[in-house]
Amino acid sequence: MDKLIPFLDLKRENERYGDEIKEAVNRVIDSGWYILGKEKEQFEKAFAGYCGTQFCVGVGNGLDAIRLILMAYMEQGIMQDGDEIILPANSFIATALAVTQCKLKPIFADCDPVTYNIAPSSIRERITPKTRAIIAVHLYGQIAPMDELNDIAKEYNLRLIEDAAQAHGAVYKDRKAGNLADAAAFSFYPVKNLGGLGDAGAITTNNKGLAHTIQSLSNYGSVEKYIHQYKGMNSRLDEIQAAILSVKLKYLDEENKQRQQIASLYSEKIKNKHIILPQIKDINSHVFHLYVIRTKQRDILQKFLMDNGVQTQIHYPVTIHKQKAYIDSSHVNLPVCERLQNEVLSLPLYPSLTKNEIEKVIDLLNSWTL
């Protein structure tokens, strides 16, 4: 049998820039400066420039990035313990954990059955006098409906926060993910479109006060050494990850283009009446962090692919409000999310996937019968 096509091959991905990455890491080792230095500053400047925002703060990971935005709003008196934050139930659990860890209350909304992004109508049904913010996740790499969400935010005086952990470089009209709301959280976890070789994250915003508060919250709440204005945390983008990310940022647009090309091939050539392909509102707005198909017989299809040497994953098999960790929200009725969790299947899609591998995936899907 042919070699297994892995869902993702990070070794193969990063080898393409191996020499440059090793050079960057060696530069940091030799510098003798490992935390809060010029590599972090340089990356923040480059990433803000890339997203088109005025400010970027590098932090420890994507969960902390969301958490620090909420913590900063709490320090500013815009949110308080027990206030409500609306977010989609079909996301990675980090989106909700950031909310609960800040002692805010997650209110789960349903998603659109075509794009799988948060549904504006479901948000409107859930707004109360205690609602303070909406977190929009750009799920799988497709931008959430930001015009509608900004309208709702304006109408009810809510903050709008992007969870852009799956959408580095995605464009909505003429603006990039990270520059479409009050503030945005990014993760650079290794599997993301822009991924480090360890944990890392960032916040982008055009709000100077917010950026400064986040910066100090991420470094023990200090504004100058040993002077602590807030009860902060320790969540800092380290120099080695910053140096690696500066290398990989240069290739992000090219990699997103390669992802889009593979996605177009899948969408053009996969023809099976039992399979629903991803629908793209606007090709520019989708950077295919994941290529997610749907079928009623998902588990059977996953096994068929694995038996034939193609590894797939499920994003996500259980929506957040049905997880044990969120048992107090399990009564909430979110019919679209709940149906999708049993139907979605993510195919291998990454820039270093070869033509033969792509064709094999397509042929297998086209040959699959019930």
Q: Nearer Cβ to ligand PLP, position 183 or 301?
A: 183
CB of 172 to ligand PLP, least distance (A): 17
Binding mask 135-164 for ligand PLP (x = CB under 6 A): --x-------------------------x-
Q: Is 335 exposed, middle or buried (0-12, 13-18, 19+ CB in 10 A)?
A: exposed
CB 230 within 8 A of CB 215: no
**Which residues, listed in sequence order, are joined to residue 201 by a DSSP beta bridge?**
59, 187
Q: Is 53 in the site for ligand PLP (CB under 6 A)?
A: no
To the nearest 10°, report the CA torsion of 355, 361, 362, 368: 160
**Contact predicate 186/178, CB 8 Å:** yes
Is position 196 an interface residue for ligand PLP (rule: CB under 6 A)?
no
Q: Which of 165, 305, 334, 345 binds ligand PLP (CB under 6 A)?
A: 165
- Which run of H or E residues covers position 162? strand 159-163
Decide: helix, strand or coil at residue 95.
helix
Residue 167: closest CA among 235, 239, 91 = 91
Which of residues 62, 88, 106, 232 is near ligand PLP by CB under 6 A?
A: 62
Q: Check residue 95 for interaction with ligand PLP (CB under 6 A).
A: yes
Q: Which of 131, 166, 219, 260 binds ligand PLP (CB under 6 A)?
A: 166
State whether the Cα torsion 243-244-249-251 is positive or negative.
Answer: positive
CB of 246 to ligand PLP, least distance (A): 18
Task: Tell me which amino acid residue 265 is.
Answer: L
Instruction: Identify the residue among 201, 232, 278, 348 touching ligand PLP (CB under 6 A).
Output: 201
**Please, which residue, 56 or 358, has the CB nearer to ligand PLP?**
56
Positions touching ligand PLP (CB under 6 A) are 61-63, 91-92, 94-95, 137, 163, 165-166, 187, 189, 199, 201
